[in-house]
Amino acid sequence: MDDFVRIVEVGPRDGLQNEAQPVATADKIELIRQLSLTGLRTIEATSFVSPRWVPQLADAAEVYTGIERRPGIDYPVLVPNEQGYDRARAVGVQEVAVFTAASETFNRTNTNAGIDESLARFAPILARAKADGVKVRGYVSTVLGCPYQGEVAVSEVVRVARALHDMGCYEISLGDTIGVGTPRKARAMLNAVASELPMAALAVHFHDTYGQALANIDACLEEGVRVVDSAVSGAGGCPYAKGASGNVASEDVVYMLHGIGMRTGIDLPALAATGRWLAARLGRETGSKTGRALAAT
C-alpha cells in the first residue's frame, strides 16, 4: 500500500473564517506564501462565500490574486453557489470545493437549504466546472455527529458522499465538524463510504474537540485513506460546540505520519515555524504541541 499521505492544508480558509478579529489581507497572503515553501501540495486559499455571512473572507479575490501560485501546488477555494463560482473564475481559480452536510438539521441551519436542495444547487456548478476544466472537491460535514440532532446515520453519509462523487467531485472530504468521533466510529464510517466509492477518492477531516483527531486519523490510515485535511497551528474553532478546539494541527499530523513511516514531502520544522508565526499574528500560542516542542529544542 502506498505510504504517501497528501495533506490538504485548510488553515487559510477553514482556520481563519471564524476569527472574531479581522485578519489583514497581507497576513493571509503571507501565510499562504510560507505554507507554499513547506512542501505542501494542496493549500485551500479562501472562500468565495457572501461577505455578509463570512466577513473574515470578504477579501477572497484580493487574497487569491495576491498570492504567488507555485508550480506543483493546488490552491483550491470554497464556493457555495454559482455566484461564488463566478467570482472565483473571474480571478483565475482552477479548483473549487462545494460543501454540504450529512445532517439535514445542520444543513438547513447553516445554509438555509436541505441536503437535496444543496446538491441541486451544486449541479450547475459541476456542469460548468467540467466544461471549464476546473477540478471540484466535495465536503460532507457532520459525518460523526451533529450539534443539533446528535447522531447522524451512516447511511446518510454514504448517500451524500456518493451523490457528490456521482456529480463529478474527484475527491470527497468526510468531516467530523464538531470533533465528537472516536476511532471505532471513524473507521466504521469510512469503510461504509468506501464500500460505495473508491478509497482513493476519499479524504478525512477531523476536529480535535475531545482530543481524538490523531487517533481517528490513524484508524482511517489503517483502512487505506491517504488524504488528510488539517490546519496549521490548529487554527479554526467550531462555533457550534462549546470548548471545541477546532481543526487538528497540521504539524501534529505530519509529526505522527513521519513517526509511523508515512511520507508527506513536508518540511516539518518549516511548517511548525509557519504555525508559530500565524499564532503570533493572531495573538495566541500555537495550537500545535509539535510546534511548541520544536520551538523549545
Indicate which residues carry an active-site annotation. Answer: 238
* CA atoms 227, 231, 237, 239: torsion sign: negative
Is residue 214 within 8 Å of 252, Cβ to Cβ? yes
Residue 258 makes CB contacts below 8 A (sequence gap 6+) with: 264, 268
| Residue 194 in grid coordinates | 468506501
DSSP bridge partners of 139: 99, 173
- Residue 44 sits at the vertex; the CA angle it makes with 68 and 12, to the nearest 5 degrees, is 85
Whole-angstrom Cα distance, residue 182 to residue 212? 6
Residue 57 makes CB contacts below 8 A (sequence gap 6+) with: 13, 16, 17, 46, 47, 48, 49, 51
Q: Report the Cα 283 to chain-centroid distance in Å.
A: 23
* CA atoms 95, 231, 145, 104: torsion sign: negative
How many Å is the Cα radius of gyration of the chain? Answer: 17
